[in-house]
Amino acid sequence: MSDKNKNVEKKIARDIKYRALLEFKYSAGKHASYFFQQLRDNKKLMASKCPKCEKAYVPPRPACPECFEANSEWIEAGPQGTLVGFTVVEFPFLDPTTGKTKEVPYGYGFIILDGTATKFAHFLDETDLNKLEAGMRVEPIFEEERSGNFADIKYFRKIADSE
């Protein structure tokens, strides 16, 4: 091999930096599609229910994670519920559901909707930690224009006559 060819081989080994754009559509599946349709069209939060242990899940799951039975029934969850955990977010970061940074501060909570066994995570309108407490009764406030996603619920707020 000549000295000239050795130089060519060295030039071949190099990094190529390229950022790929991969567009895709996410299929919500049968259960989540029904959940989002009911949320969009009727402002209902539908839960799937296990026929064996009778636990209801929202967002719905196709099978019970405890019994492994197919969740074959639907019930209307809440829409009121009990706040069981919360925080107030002070640090801005990208919201993966919108691709935008949500204005801070905002409340975020785990809510057990009436009739269900799961903690439903969503925004809270309250941003004062001293006014939030576990056990507080809350209700969802829906957007007027809904498109079939979690953002159709603006936030949960304390039910006015609850303590």
Does 67 participate in binding Zn ion (rule CB under 5 A)? yes
75 binds Zn ion (CB under 5 A): no
The SS3 call for residue 37 is helix
Q: To the nearest whole angstrom, how small is the minimum distance from the Cβ of residue 152 to Zn ion?
A: 28
Q: Which two tokens stand for residue 66?
A: 């405890």
Question: Between 69 and 95, whose beta carbon lies closer to Zn ion?
Answer: 69
Told to check if 72 binds Zn ion by CB under 5 A, we report: no
CB of 67 to Zn ion, least distance (A): 3
Closer to Zn ion by Cβ: residue 52 or 131 = 52
CA distance linking residue 156 with residue 80, whole number of Å:
9
**Residues between 125 and 144 with contacts to Zn ion, criterion CB under 5 A:** none
Sign for the CA dihedral angle at 93, 97, 99, 103 comes to negative
d(CA 54, CA 83): 22
Q: Is 97 exposed, middle or buried (0-12, 13-18, 19+ CB in 10 A)?
A: exposed
Q: For residues 41-60, which are near Zn ion according to CB under 5 A?
A: 50, 52-53
Which CB sits closer to Zn ion, 53 or 134? 53
The site for Zn ion (CB under 5 A) is made up of 50, 52-53, 64, 66-67
